[in-house]
Each structure stands twice: as structure tokens, then as C-alpha cells.
Structure 1
Amino acid sequence: MTTEASGTSPLNHPEPAARTLRYSAFTHDPAGGNPAGVVLDASRLDEAAMLALAAEVGYSETAFVTGADEQARRFRVRYFSPLAEVAFCGHATVALAVALAERLGPGEIVLDTPAGEIPVATRVDDEGAVLATLTSVPTRSRPASDTELDATLAALGWSRGDLDPELPPHVAFGGNDHLVLAAASRTRLAKLDYDFEGLAEVMRRYGWTTVHLVWRESPELFHARDPFPVGGVVEDPATGAAAAAFGGYLRAVGLVTSPARISVRQGEDMGRPGDLLIDVDPHGTRTRVTGGAVPIAEAGGPRRS
């Protein structure tokens, strides 16, 4: 893969190399959704520099384009939280895809990520907003063990009675592993006051990126929250990677029996509402996740605890 170095490239002109753009994903309002950093030319940055820049930005994730073939619309990408690199990040992917579409025009792009190849389709809707639809790597989902569940509930301050018995706890994968727990009520989901270090230790032990807490309002609408202490933030406002994994979960537990579009509402309890759309085919292995993104004029959003 080549890296564009010419000043005529739309990816580095008029923006200087390593400039951090700020977008909020899964929203059309900069005050909503999930903020992400986007660096369109990180070809000269090493891992330590990318981690330091992500920590400085302070968002849950920053996406770094480390190589680009603009003619083929193919880009090599790495993702960093304030504390560590992650293999895949959905909201930063959407933010990056929108930033690329604004500069190169809408259409298909391909991202080469540590988790694998991620195709992304970008388009402009009837209101002029850019939307991005990513296709996840193959998903998988398995029941959580009693040991995993008990340790997580203890850190959350939840009990088994707080869970929806119709939606079993699972560890789901869509580029990263996420523990999926379904709350029995919207009230339980809204009251999130957990042991930050305790949950981080549990998540590091089992290799989870977030704990994906959901409440089912209807078969087509779920509300979600994603504690992300291993990334250095209390909560992720809109989590595309978890949404991709959740699509695989819905398929695995038999809640999707025909092709379906599911809405996930996230961030309301943080004051940053966002909307994620997931398309799930019961006969497929991947999840399609759709959302918009808009530039943020200045730094803001979730910071490290």
C-alpha cells in the first residue's frame, strides 16, 4: 500500500500532517453521539506517538491512517484509546469514513485494520448529510460463564435479578470481544454507577473491550450503554464495534429469524444521544452498522477518569 506524500493530496492539503480532526459519530449534532479523533496522515507517527496523541485528545478512540492508496480508496488504519491500542473501533471508523468522503467524494472505501478488512460504503442522504455503513468482520457469540458473569455483576453492583431472563448473557465478537448483558428495565440501565477499577480488572482478565449493556424496548429498538474503563473512559456514548458484535449476538440467540434492521439508541443517559442502525441477516456472519458523523469545532467530550 502506498502513502500519499504530495501536497496536492486531498488528505493532507490544506491540513498539515498529523493534524487531529474531531468528529462526533452516530449523530448529526456535534453535541450528541460519540466524539472521535481522526488523523488522516499518520504515516510518520510511531506507536508511542499515536498513543500519546490519543491521550491528549482524550476521546474514547482516535483513528490514525498509517497508509493510503487514494486511487484504490484503500486505507490502513490503527485505533488508539487514551490508554491502549484496540483492534477495531466502530464509531471512529464511521468518523474516518465521513471525513474521507468529504474530501474524496462518497462511494466505497476499504479499511485495513488490525481486526481485518472493513468495507465501508459512504453516501449523501436527501438532507445532504454523509452516512457511512461499515461491514464487520465475521461475528461470533457464546454464552458467558458463571464466573465471568458473577465477576462482572459484582463490579457493576448489579444482581442476576437485574437481568432480562429472555436475553442470555453472552460474550460477542465483531472485531473485539464485548460482554452483552440485558437489563430487565430501563430504570436499571439508567442507574450506572460501577467500580471503575474493579470492572477494568475483570475486562482485562477476559479480554473484553466494553461491557455492552442493553434494554429491549421492542424487537426493533434497543437502548444501550457501554462502560469502557479499559480504554480510560467511564462510558462510551455510541459504540459501533459493540453494535456489530450485538448483531451477531441477536443472530446467535435466535432473536433475528429474517433479515432485520435494528435501531440502537445510546448516549441518552450521558446527555449525548446517538443512533446506530444495524442490519442483521440470520443466514450471514457479518453485521452492517450505519451512522452519520459531523465535525466538532473544538475539543470536548469524554475524558479519562
Structure 2
Amino acid sequence: MPEVLRYAAFIDPSEADGGNPAGVVLDADGLDDAEMQRIAADVGYAETAFLVGQDGAARRIRYYSPIAEVPFCGHATIATAVVLAEREGAGLFRFATPVGDVPIETIATDAGIRATFTSVDPVVSDLAPDVREALLALLGLSESDLDGAYGPRIARAGNPHPVLVIADRARFDGFSFDPVAVRSLMDEQGWTGTVTVMHRDPAGDWEARNLFPVGAITEDPATGSAAASFGGYLRALRAVPVGETTHVRIRQGRHVGRPCLLEVEIPPTGGIRVSGSAAAL
């Protein structure tokens, strides 16, 4: 049985008991699909990452939730890169993921290792009206709850994420949902990522609730793939300055008692850069 490391990623240094837990298996070459799935289910975190050999200069990586393989997972990528940097020294790593090659830079700081991955090029498309209506109904929301400056879309930077932006903080904090019904819609639509619900605070930072019903989990504490997808969403909507690199901060996890911080760099073109730290649990 290979060693399973447990790390929390996207730790907010201003908060205690935060970060999104991820499993990390550094030597999974000898494991088949069923064994990786079983380990991920036993670990019980939103995702566990498995390094499964080399693809040229890149390390092949796969991600499993407790119920299925996931094409890409940002927080498990950050956690795995931090583990490698702690053991091999900080620098540039490259992961061959099921969605394409993802470079990840690591640097040593006084607070520990900080990692930044660059996503695959994001793609943003319309959310079909009937699906939009069904999703809002499952969350107990209406069109009037949405921020008119940010229309619903599907954003993909590895995984597809439907994106909703709620205007009112109380509605953002207060909506609830049936995890089974949301999972059913996600499976029906092929949404392998999360349902991404956002709110912008008066200071200009963003807060996220990422719905991801798997096993005992209902909401993900921090979602790197959703942060990258949301960066692509903002760029596609021209909600950030055109032709400039923009930095935004996303806080997540408050609603599930694990506050997290994701820092997002949105260049004029290409992949979105998402940064965070991680530490052993």
C-alpha cells in the first residue's frame, strides 16, 4: 500500500483551521484505476492526487474524488507541488494532467512553500436557459437575485463550472440546496467540476461557494479549477481591464468552517494563474 499524504491547500494566513484537504500519493505507478478509486474513497477528501510516472519532462498526475475520477483538481495540484518542493527543492514542476500539461511554480517563503499553477486556456460558453432555470430553482434563487453585471455562463479551465453571481450578501450566505438533487443535475449535464456561486464584496474582493456533493461533502472549501475558470469568465465578460494583467482575490470555505484564500492572476490571453500555499495536516 503506497503512503497517502494529507495536506491542506489554499490556506488563508489570517485564519485558523483553514485550507482544503487533499490526499497526495507520490508513487502510484503500480496502482490500477480501481485501487486509486478505493484509496480516494477511503481518504474521503474532495480529491486525492496520484503521481503515475513520467510523460517526457512532465509528471503524470490523476485525480480522484470519493466517487469518480476528476479531469483536473487545483487544490490537489497545489498540495502535490508543495510536497515535491519540500522534498526536492522549490522550482518549476510540470504535470501532465488528463486535460493537458499544467506548469506549476513553487517558491520558498518565510511562511512556507507557495505554489502557482497556470491553467489550460479557459473556454466560456452560454448556460442554456432551461438549465439555468433548473439550477436556480434547486438553489431557491430567482433571476432577480443575480448580479446583472455578471451573467450566468459555463466556464472551463480543465473542468466545466456553471457560474452564478449573486448580488446580495444575505442571499449569497443564505441559500441552501439538496445535495442529491444538485448532484443529479451535475451528472446529467456532465459538470465534473463544481457549481460556482460568487459574490463581490464592497472592497472588490470575491467570495465563492463551490457546490460539490460527493459522499459526506456538500461544498468544497477551496476550488483551484473554479478559480481559474472564474478568471477566464471575468476576462470573457470584459469585467477586467482589456489588455492588462489583473489580480483578484477569492475567499472561500467560510460556509463550511474552513476559510481559504485563492489568488488569481488574469493575463490578457492564455491560461489563468492561481496561487496558494499548503501544509501537512
Alignment TM class, shorter chain as reference: over 0.9
Question: What TM-score comes out, normalization by structure 1 length?
Answer: 0.87
Equivalent residue number for residue 302 of structure 1 = none
SS in structure 1 opposite 2:194? strand
> In structure 2, how many angstroms separate the alpha carbons of the residues matched to 1:242 and 1:233?
17
The partner residue of 1:106 within 57, 67, 90 is 90
> In structure 1, how many angstroms separate the alpha carbons of the residues matched to 2:238 and 2:258?
31
Shift of 1:68: 4.0
RMSD (Å), alpha carbons = 1.7
Output one character per residue of 1:207-245: Cα deviation in whole Å (capped at 9) or x when no partner. 112110100115741000100025762010000000010
Equivalent residue number for residue 51 of structure 2 = 65
More moved, 253-262 vs 98-107: 253-262
Equivalent residue number for residue 276 of structure 2 = 291
1:103-182 residue pairs with structure 2 within 5 A? 103-125=87-109, 127-182=110-165
Task: Indicate yes or no: 2:172 matched with 1:186.
Answer: no
> In structure 2, how many angstroms separate the alpha carbons of the residues matched to 1:109 and 1:58?
27
Equivalent residue number for residue 222 of structure 2 = 238
Alpha-carbon contact 1:266-1:273 (below 8 Å) kept: yes
Alpha-carbon contact 1:60-1:232 (below 8 Å) kept: no
More moved, 112-121 vs 193-202: 193-202
The partner residue of 2:81 within 77, 97, 100 is 97
SS in structure 1 opposite 2:17? coil
The partner residue of 1:204 within 176, 182, 187 is 187
Shift of 1:143: 2.3
Give structure 2 stretches of 5+ with no counterpart: none
Shift of 1:163: 1.2
1:19-38 residue pairs with structure 2 within 5 A? 19-27=3-11, 31-38=17-24
Give structure 1 stretches of 5+ with no counterpart: 1-16, 297-305
Question: How many residues were matched structurally?
Answer: 276
> In structure 1, how many angstroms separate the alpha carbons of the residues matched to 2:248 and 2:133?
29
Alpha-carbon contact 1:98-1:293 (below 8 Å) kept: yes
Q: Decide whether aligned partners of structure 1 residues 177 and 104 sit closer, same or farther in structure 2, where only a CA change above 3 A counts.
A: same
Alpha-carbon contact 1:23-1:30 (below 8 Å) kept: no
Question: What TM-score comes out, normalization by structure 2 length?
Answer: 0.94
Could you tell me which amino acid in structure 2 is paired with residue 78 of structure 1? R
Alpha-carbon contact 2:116-2:273 (below 8 Å) kept: yes
SS in structure 1 opposite 2:28? coil
Shift of 1:33: 1.4
SS in structure 2 opposite 1:229? strand
Equivalent residue number for residue 30 of structure 2 = 44
Could you tell me which amino acid in structure 1 is paired with residue 27 of structure 2? D
Alpha-carbon contact 1:210-1:228 (below 8 Å) kept: yes
Could you tell me which amino acid in structure 2 is paired with residue 268 of structure 1? R
Q: Percent identical across equivalent pairs?
A: 45
